[in-house]
A and B are shown apart, each in its own frame.
Chain A
């Protein structure tokens, strides 16, 4: 009996890591923030999540089909993008608007640039900013969280909005738990940190980007305080707005962040710096989305100048 043997070039074994497992881990890590969003903002938020995920997956399928490329639904990246988009939108956004967001995220930003791994900016954040420009009013109408005692439920402001417009700031505990106005999945620091720890334990992300990004924001917001140097409120800035979701889930997106540790550190500091500049010195209440998108575009440059030192050689030899 002659055995026919397969031939292949080594290595002959692989780790069990896979793109879909990584994406599944991200989905799991986003579960606490999603549940917190639904808890605080009601079932309409759940509907927003469903619409974003389903439409993103549908657009991925259609775009790949029309572009005559292989079906990539099983890598789960479209589902992740859909969920991240939902968590970055106002909970009560008109659902057709959410579908438009999915279209931009999946079709324009991701697939037209070549699909997974090829987009130059974060699809969910890019889509959010496009929606913000196109539908400014609806994109800044915030649902009042559960248990909100004020009268105007729809016009509830975000903590950063209050900071810009004036008014009574929410307490730290409410901000930590997520009981404040804001995007669907950004308000609960607790839920986001739980998800972030899960990703760290699963080694899906490394600590550098979230910790340095948040640290930079904390440090600069304290130094550049409203009453002069060292009078800022770093805790407020860490808990407010999209910083937690941005630092843990958006800035750590593989495709749009640097490939080396050194690059990641530069990128994270840049994100923090830009976030503070936008928050403190522009008319915009929030700066995380823009900061990350801008740093996304700087990644090729960062990668070029942070080539690791090769073994036994000089860096630029």
Chain B
């Protein structure tokens, strides 16, 4: 096994490991954004006053790189309007007032799949996006560009972010579903083999999946040393295959497609039931949460109601993060909705939210040792501060995967990855034109 260089060992905080998933039920309102993926936004297919049912299509796009959106509840559309979400951009959203009946849309039925094409269009129709974090439309990922030859499907069960256990629970609670989903993908895409990578801090998941695939030679399970960011696409591919995805290249360029465990199992459940992606297991944790647990949440549920379901807050939630503490996105309001790729919600109290005051770089080189991409974070930070973007580009600022290891490790508490984001954004905006 190849081990990536660098990385950090934040405290794991997997407090919810043993907590069985609890379904939350129907919230008082759902707000469903038309963009929950990387790619073109969907156009709303419903208008105010329409009644919708569970699984009904409410947004779609002509664009290829896009994923349709479905209603997670039955009820009445109360608003179709732009809402500012955590990306600070207004996004068209459909607000639905649930009737609580959860009537299933009549047209929901298992898709007919008999070819690669029908498989891919079924995946698109399901609304599936990568559930691990980035939210890339699954049908696009499974249809690699011409000229690439994919021989390995990599199933990501690393879950290297602290706190999050939602993928772990998937491995335990839906072991067979994951395997079934992988077999579907292998069958219809013609990829020869699948490798499941799981960090060694989850021995039960490794055991369960190893047993489930013991008589399936095309699927293997691999234990990976627990180290953040083991579950990042590039480091995971490297660990399992020894192949390095260079900057600006896709995993398919080295013959790999990476899929999260929960994404894989959803493929199986969709092909069986035809129910699109309308709910998600979310780990609720953080120092301000009263009862940390894994909750099955309907997509579009306001964060506030999810936390209320978990007993509310035991201390003032100073910061609320969607995703893990290393790469998650802080939310400005508890009224924002749970999205397709939401895997965790963390409510941090004041102590945990405090941003330590930065001081001068002491050149200790901890950031250089921590960087899994082999970059010089301290130097990139300095160059962006000095607005020397071209020099920063020369030392590969665009290769940064923004994992945050440099900032985590820094004793001077410098905001290196934050500077790098600013630099990357500046370069992107000024090279396109």
Chain A contact residues, CB within 8 Å of chain B: 3, 5-15, 17-19, 21-22, 72, 75, 77, 114-118, 254-255, 257-261, 307-313
Contact = CB atoms under 8 A, between A and B. Distances in A.
B418 A254 contact: no
25 contacts: A5-B318, A5-B334, A6-B318, A7-B331, A8-B319, A9-B330, A9-B415, A9-B418, A10-B321, A10-B402, A11-B326, A12-B328, A12-B348, A13-B162, A13-B325, A13-B326, A13-B408, A18-B413, A19-B362, A21-B411, A117-B361, A259-B378, A310-B374, A310-B375, A311-B4
B19 interface: no
A117 B317 contact: no
Given A3-B317, A117-B361, A312 B247 contact: yes
In this complex, the member of A18, A260, A308 whose beta carbon has the largest number of chain B beta carbons within 10 angstroms is A308
Contacts of A18: 356, 411-413
B333 interface: yes
B46 interface: no
A259 B363 CA distance: 7
A303 to B, nearest CB: 9
Contacts, number: 153
Contact of B353 (A6, A309, A311): A6
B404 A10 contact: yes
B315 to A, nearest CB: 12
A12 B325 contact: yes
B412 A5 contact: no
A209 B225 CA distance: 28
B368 interface: yes
A118 B360 contact: yes
Contact of A14 (B5, B373, B402, B408): B408
Contact of A115 (B317, B318, B360): B360
Q: Which of A5, A115, A308 has the most chain B CB within a 10 Å cutoff?
A: A5
B368 A255 contact: no
Interface in B213-264: 234, 238, 244-247, 249
B112 interface: no
A207 B412 CA distance: 22
Contacts of A8: 319, 330, 353, 355
A5 B333 contact: yes
Contacts of A118: 360
B373 A310 contact: yes
Nearest to B254: A312
Contacts of B402: 10
Interface in B409-425: 409-413, 415, 417-418, 421
A314 to B, nearest CB: 9
B431 interface: no
A307 B327 contact: no
Contacts of A7: 319, 330-332
Interface string B351-389: 011011001111111101100111110100000000000
A311 B399 contact: yes
Query: Which among B234, B330, B332, B352 has the highest number of chain A CB atoms within 10 Å?
Result: B330
Contacts of B10: 13, 15
Contacts of B362: 19, 22, 77, 116-117, 254-255
Nearest to B402: A10
Interface in B304-357: 316-321, 323, 325-334, 346, 348, 352-353, 355-356
A14, A22, A72: residue with the most chain B Cβ atoms closer than 10 Å: A14
B8 interface: yes
A247 B345 CA distance: 48
B334 A309 contact: no
A22 B374 CA distance: 24
A79 to B, nearest CB: 15
Contacts of B368: 259-260, 308
A116 B360 contact: yes
B327 to A, nearest CB: 5
Contacts of B356: 14, 18
Contacts of B323: 10
Nearest to B357: A70
A5 B4 contact: no
B131 interface: no
Contacts of A12: 319, 321, 325-326, 328, 330, 346, 348, 352-353
B79 interface: no
Contacts of B374: 308-311, 313
A18 B247 CA distance: 32
Contacts of A10: 321, 323, 325-330, 402, 404, 417
Contacts of A22: 362, 364, 411
